[in-house]
Amino acid sequence: MRGLYAIVDLGLLEGRRIDPITFVQAVLLARPAAVQVRAKQAASRDILSLLRALAPMCRAVSAPLVANDRPDLAILAGCDMVHVGQSDIPIDQVRRLAPGIGIGVSTHTPEQLDAAVAARPTYVAYGPVFETSTKKDPDPVVGIAGLREAHTRAARAGVPLVAIGGITRDRASALVGIADAVAVVGELLPPAPAFGHRFASEWLGEVTARASALGNLFTSGPSRAGTA
């Protein structure tokens, strides 16, 4: 896994009245490393419906589709992976429920990281690298030095590492070489779009441009932690 790990936060998009399918279409033009759907407040049936709509779109450009927290919905929708946090279902249980599906794990401390890579997930996420406003009750900031150490540990185990938390286009350049991919939420969103007007296509074009700029930073050289 290398490049942009795009997170589609349904709550954030709903607040800006942005259609998630249209948004993902724009992101997929940048050929991201993965697309995760995060829907903390949505009903299960609505999440499943969206995942099923996105699965063939992502498959068409070989971008893995990741369901957040829900291995059951990931299997039903034909997702490639599921992402779990420290308080979610453990990796071994995910494997029993959804054999063959890829697994990503959020980690926030060296101890959590070591435990995660020992279980051989598809990738580990580490952060928050910077302060973030897109997640309630975020863990303490790990900083660039913390990320560098985490990348060394993950690389030693051959597990790709995804940096997450407060990552912008300006900050991302400092993470090249110490992360295999960057998870981005809000930075993919330009100022509010004007759908229904001629400016809508320009806004979507900016989404693609932002996604491309972030992804290209991490796909121009050899990976240090293997591939997923």
Q: What is the pLDDT of residues 25-82, one digit of tens each?
A: 999 999 999 999 999 889 999 999 999 999 999 999 999 999 999 999 999 999 999 9
Task: Give the per-residue pLDDT at 226.
Answer: 39
Q: Which of 44, 41, 52 is closest to 13 using CA atoms? A: 41
Q: What DSSP string runs through 14-57? A: HHTT--HHHHHHHHHTT--SEEEEE-SSS-HHHHHHHHHHHHHH
Dump pLDDT digits (tens) for 159-197.
Answer: 999 999 999 999 999 999 999 999 999 999 988 766 656
- Note the pLDDT tens digit of each residue in 76-97: 999 999 999 998 889 999 999 9
Tell me: pLDDT of 18 over 80.
yes
**For residue 205, pLDDT beyond 50:** yes
The full set of domains in the chain, from first to last, is 3-217 (3.20.20.70)
Q: What integer pLDDT is reported at residue 225 of this predicted model?
A: 39
pLDDT surpassing 80 at residue 215:
yes
pLDDT at 135: 67
Mean pLDDT of 193-215: 84
Phi and psi torsions of 212, nearest 5°: -65, -45
Distance CA 224, CA 228 (A): 12
Exposure of 102 by Cβ count < 10 A (0-12 exposed, 13-18 middle, 19+ buried)? Answer: buried
- The amino acid at 41: Q
Output DSSP code: residue 141: P
Q: What is the pLDDT of residues 106-146, one digit of tens each?
A: 999 999 999 999 999 999 999 999 998 766 677 899 999 99
